[in-house]
């Protein structure tokens, strides 16, 4: 393979690179990622590609390009294709922020609901987390207190806030 185009085609069809690309989510951008890797390789100096091929580092180089494009928020690919996912996530977070904060007078109603509604171990776990959240006033402090992931705490808080909102609006 002396021709750079042949080298790029061989990497483009390489099963290991394809397996790497299949790990990138969402699936809808995988083909775009594959095309962008090819464009990146086409923009690479031909002598450099030949040197990477001769030293058996071309696949590793292509996989590194793949990973950086898919995961680095500074890459143009990430900005162009994954930005919409990020914006959707931000919209979701902003939508959940609009949930009302409980008035202190409603705490007894909420406590009674949590006590009666959450009977299983998993539900009791959620009740304890939410109760600690009311006490400490911060999801991060609750996560630190119990030594659990912050996202888990926030998911439980949002879930119970929605349930309480429905209960209190009835």
- pLDDT tens by residue, 58-87: 989 998 888 888 877 677 776 666 555 555
Q: Quick one: which H or E segment has residue 164?
A: helix 150-168
What residue ranges of the chain have pLDDT lower than 50?
98-100
Residue 15 is predicted with a pLDDT of 92
> Contacts for 50-56 with beta carbons within 8 Å, 24 or more apart?
50/2, 50/4, 50/7, 53/1, 53/7
Query: Cα dist. 136→14, 48, 82, 133, 139 in Å?
Result: 53, 57, 35, 5, 8
Q: Where are the beta strands (DSSP E) in the chain?
A: none
**CA-CA distance, 164 to 142, in Å (whole number)?**
19
> Are 69 and 21 in contact, with CB atoms under 8 Å apart?
no
Q: What is the pLDDT of residue 105?
A: 63
């Amino acid at each position: 393979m002396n021709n750079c185009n042949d080298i790029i085609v061989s990497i483009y069809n390489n099963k290991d690179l394809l397996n790497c690309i299949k790990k990138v989510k969402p699936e809808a951008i995988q083909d775009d990622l594959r095309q962008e890797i090819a464009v990146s390789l086409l923009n690479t100096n031909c002598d450099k590609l030949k040197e990477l091929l001769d030293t058996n580092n071309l696949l590793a180089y292509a996989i590194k390009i793949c990973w950086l494009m898919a995961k680095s928020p500074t890459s143009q690919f990430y900005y162009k294709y994954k930005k919409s996912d990020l914006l959707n996530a931000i919209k979701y977070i902003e939508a959940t922020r609009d949930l009302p904060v409980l008035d202190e007078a409603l705490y007894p109603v909420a406590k009674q609901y949590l006590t009666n509604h959450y009977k299983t171990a998993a539900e009791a776990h959620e009740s304890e987390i939410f109760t600690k959240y009311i006490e400490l006033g911060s999801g991060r402090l609750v996560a630190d207190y119990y030594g659990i992931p912050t996202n888990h705490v926030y998911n439980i808080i949002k879930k119970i806030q929605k349930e309480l909102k429905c209960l209190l609006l009835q």
